[in-house]
Structure 1
Amino acid sequence: MDKYFDLLIIDRDFSLNNGFEPNLTKNEHSIGQDIKHSIIESGLATELVAERSPTLRYDVFTRIILLVETDRRIIPGTARIREETAERLYLTADTYDFGRIGVTING
């Protein structure tokens, strides 16, 4: 069942098919893309790259989790962040309709 649709964005640009029409993303991929873009647009990803204090980095992680959990499609209390590098995070969260999603966020 397709519930959510969005234009697919790759490397901050629309993804186009062979006919130069935008590709679509749907359901859990659409939710993940929305979450990724909300984090980037909030400035929290950039703030995290600039922060070196472990304590203050965890504060930014908490703010990212709170932002993600305001999405009505995400089950509150399920968002988790794993720091892969100082500039790349992997975020997981459970959705009401599609189970667990995961997105990579580059600062």
Structure 2
Amino acid sequence: MSKLLYVDLLIINGNFVLGPGNEPTLCNNRVSISQDIVHSIIESGLVKELIAERSPVLRADILLRMELLVETDSRIVPGTVHISDGGNGDYFIDAETNDFGSLSLRETL
């Protein structure tokens, strides 16, 4: 088992996950990094721009800006981030973390 470097409250679909005693569930390391990345993209406003944009060229530009935003996270290896459009509002984020190996996320807009 790897050392707990990052601990956070687990959030799924915008809500805290509660355990049997109604206490918040914790997540750590890769899951914590993953949800931090998703929240940083949402908070940046780039998701709204992506949803509103119809031009394929400008959408590609927004995805590049998202990749650059993710690379600013010190826990991510620069140059390893790739965000792809899976169609039907699905986006896939692949990156390499410094301490926990590869990371793959799927988000639906």
Instruction: Give the structure 2 partner of residue 83 of structure 1.
Output: 85
* SS, match of residue 92 in structure 2: strand
DSSP-derived class of the 2:4 partner? coil
Match of residue 102, structure 2, among 100, 103, 106: 100
Tell me, in whole angstroms, the C-alpha distance in 2 between the residues paired with 1:5 and 1:75. Answer: 20
**Partner residue, 2:15:** 13
Deviations 1:11-40 (A, max 9, x none): 101000000000011001100000001001
- CA RMSD, 1 decimal: 1.0
Residue equivalent to 2:36: 34
SS in 1 for 2:67: helix
Q: Tell me, which stretches of 5 or more residues in structure 1 are unaligned?
A: none
Distance in 1 (alpha carbons) for counterparts of 2:9 and 2:22:
13
Measured in 1, the distance between the counterparts of 2:62 and 2:43 equals: 14
- When normalised by structure 2's length, the TM-score is 0.93
Contact 1:74 1:93 in 2 (8 A): yes
In the alignment, structure 2 segments of 5+ residues that lack a partner are none
TM (norm. structure 1) is 0.95
1:63-82 equivalent positions in 2, closer than 5 A: 63-82=65-84
Q: Following the alignment from structure 1 to structure 2, what is the Cα–Cα distance between the partners of residues 41 and 86?
A: 22
Could you tell me which residue of structure 1 aligns to residue 45 of structure 2?
43
One-letter amino acid matched to 2:37: I
Larger relative CO (CA 8 A, sep 6+): 1 or 2?
1
- Identical positions, percent: 50
Aligned length: 107
